[in-house]
Amino acid sequence: MVETILSALMYPFLFLSMFFQVLLLTSFFENKKKIDEEETYHKLEHFPTVAVAVPCWNEEKTLASTLDSLLALDYPKDKLHIFVVDDGSTDKTHEIAERYAQQHPTVVTAIRKENGGKHTAVNLALERSTADIFGCLDADSFVAPHTLKTIVTYFDRNKDVMAVTPCIHIRKPKTFIQRMQAIEYLMGVFVRKAFGALDAIQVTPGPFSMFKKEVFETIGGYHKAHNTEDFEITLRMHKNHLKIANSHKALVYTVGPATAKGFFYQRLRWARGFLENSLDYKELFFKKEYGNFGMFTLPMAFMFVFYGLYAACFAMYTFIKQITTTLERWLTVGIHPQIPSFDVFYINTNVMSFIVMVMFSMFLLTLYISNSLTDDRQQFYKNFPIFFFIYPLFIPFFFGRAVIDTFANHKNEWVLQDTKK
């Protein structure tokens, strides 16, 4: 009886997941011609001024390479300014920033401040900027030479677009944790493009995103936002009906966590930030005025946290039960090896198995599309087994911890609010 109930609860998750995959694939193929046209070469008649903030805290290992990538951009240097904001580092970060500022005084400005968090560092650069377009590049991320011009071209071609997100890859994945993330980020290429077709992009990612200055004049600067300021500012943009687009030709590389511990805590911060900010902007849920973002993508993403947690736990329960059942049989009747039979005409008609197979096929299709979209083609089949078998093991832990932390925090906030009444 219990197993029947547990299995029955899986069906809504599977159907919702399949619906979501079909929605993304449909939106992509329906807008394929428009997507291709948006990324075709478009000669700029005018180069707007651009400012890029590089907030950094103890980034001595990567900062120089990050700044080198910005200085190598195929963009007029008299139209580009880089603000390197040291947020109270205790290593040689500020020394590196000062060296680049001295070597490139007209392009690079080094700023040092007390530690206050990434959002304060970006806002300080924003206050000093007079540029037409402003963006932020993490100090462990690197832009391809054509990236900025590609994004500026996107703004020039689409006057109603107020922010543009890039295509992000893991830089030189070495450990199996980084190789796992390489597949996750590759999948994101298609997802962001499909969300863009729906006018429902969910995040302007921290590694690199660019905004017209009018965005900050309208909604203000960055907030701390539960340490996920990139997601919160996206919610604010949707609330104010500001259009966000994605350019899959604009390439950015970021350093992914190399260890399981680092990966877990990064994803925990992201998951908790998503939940906390979603609750802060719950007025966007199921509101037609916020388009597909409010009606579909945000509510479904919120529900998927809980269903994803349940699905991962259910899969682990099923696997452990299968192992224990097998061990019990071996202990009872002994081990009797059997040669497995294979019937080429056999089709598993179990509904759940069929849905899972369909979803898996669509997942492979989206990976193929993602790889065909990006200019940096990857041999994803080498890293796919790691992603497929290892990534799900993390889900119940960082989702579960995020759910507990989020609602415990909100419960405390509600109690405090009640005591103030």
Cβ proximity of 152 and 71 under 8 Å: no
Whether 351 and 222 share a structural domain: yes
d(CA 219, CA 108): 27
Number of C-beta neighbours around residue 346 at 10 A:
8
**40 in any annotated domain:** no
For the segment 197-231, what is each residue's pLDDT rounded down to a tens digit? Answer: 999 999 999 899 999 999 999 999 999 999 999 99
Whether 259 and 247 share a structural domain: yes
Cβ proximity of 202 and 163 under 8 Å: no
Cβ proximity of 147 and 80 under 8 Å: no
pLDDT reading at 414 higher than 50 = no
For the segment 107-143, what is each residue's pLDDT rounded down to a tens digit? Answer: 999 999 999 999 999 999 999 999 999 999 999 999 9
Whether 277 and 400 share a structural domain: yes
The confidence score (pLDDT) of residue 407 equals 83
The residue among 273 and 347 whose pLDDT is bigger is: 273
Whether 83 and 231 share a structural domain: no
DSSP notation for 194-215: HHHHTT------TTEEEEEHHH
pLDDT reading at 347 higher than 70 = no
Enumerate residues 6+ apart whose C-beta is below 8 A from 233: 204, 219, 222, 223, 225
The residue among 315 and 26 whose pLDDT is bigger is: 26
For the segment 287-309, what is each residue's pLDDT rounded down to a tens digit? Answer: 999 999 999 999 999 988 888 88
Number of domains in the chain: 2
Whether 6 and 90 share a structural domain: no
Beta strand spans in 11-114 (E): 50-56, 80-87, 108-113
Enumerate residues 6+ apart whose C-beta is below 8 A from 105: none
Query: Which of the four pLDDT bands, split at 50, 70 and 90, describes residue 343?
Result: low
pLDDT reading at 152 higher than 60 = yes
At position 384, the amino acid (one-letter code) is F
Whether 257 and 369 share a structural domain: yes
Whether 9 and 68 share a structural domain: no
**74 in any annotated domain:** yes
Tokens of 30: 């329906």
The confidence score (pLDDT) of residue 107 equals 97
At position 195, the amino acid (one-letter code) is F
For the segment 14-44, what is each residue's pLDDT rounded down to a tens digit? Answer: 888 888 899 899 999 999 888 887 777 677 8
d(CA 7, CA 17): 16
pLDDT cut 70: percent of the chain above it? 92
Whether 382 and 410 share a structural domain: yes
Whether 205 and 284 share a structural domain: yes
Whether 200 and 323 share a structural domain: yes
The confidence score (pLDDT) of residue 413 equals 46
State which of 92, 114, 140 marks the end of a domain. Answer: 140
DSSP 107: T
At position 82, the amino acid (one-letter code) is I
The confidence score (pLDDT) of residue 328 equals 83
Query: Which of the four pLDDT bands, split at 50, 70 and 90, describes residue 1?
Result: low
CA atoms within 13 A on the CB side of 411: 6
Largest CA distance in the chain: 80
State which of 109, 140, 171 marks the end of a domain. Answer: 140
For the segment 348-396, what is each residue's pLDDT rounded down to a tens digit? Answer: 557 777 888 888 999 999 999 999 888 887 777 788 999 988 998 898 8
Number of C-beta neighbours around residue 32 at 10 A:
13
Whether 227 and 295 share a structural domain: yes
Number of C-beta neighbours around residue 290 at 10 A:
21
State which of 123, 140, 157 marks the end of a domain. Answer: 140
pLDDT reading at 6 higher than 80 = no
Q: Contacts from 149-154 at CB under 8 Å and sequence distance 24+?
A: 149/44, 149/73, 149/74, 149/75, 150/247, 150/249, 150/250, 151/210, 151/247, 151/250, 152/44, 152/47, 152/48, 152/50, 152/75, 152/210, 153/42, 153/44, 154/38, 154/245, 154/247, 154/250
pTM of the full structure? 0.89
The confidence score (pLDDT) of residue 240 equals 97
pLDDT reading at 419 higher than 50 = no
Q: What average pLDDT is seen over the chain?
A: 89
Q: Give the domain extent around 112.
A: 46-140
**Span 147-159, average pLDDT:** 92
Query: Which of the four pLDDT bands, split at 50, 70 and 90, describes residue 320?
Result: confident
**35 in any annotated domain:** no
The confidence score (pLDDT) of residue 346 equals 53
Whether 13 and 60 share a structural domain: no
**257 in any annotated domain:** yes
The confidence score (pLDDT) of residue 412 equals 47
pLDDT reading at 56 higher than 80 = yes
CATH of the domain at 129: 3.90.550.10
| CA-based nearest residue to 167, from 194, 186, 149 | 186
The confidence score (pLDDT) of residue 142 equals 97
Residue indicated by tokens 């919120």? 302
**13 in any annotated domain:** yes
d(CA 274, CA 105): 39
Q: Is 244 helix (H, G, I), strand (E, B) or coil?
A: strand
**336 in any annotated domain:** no
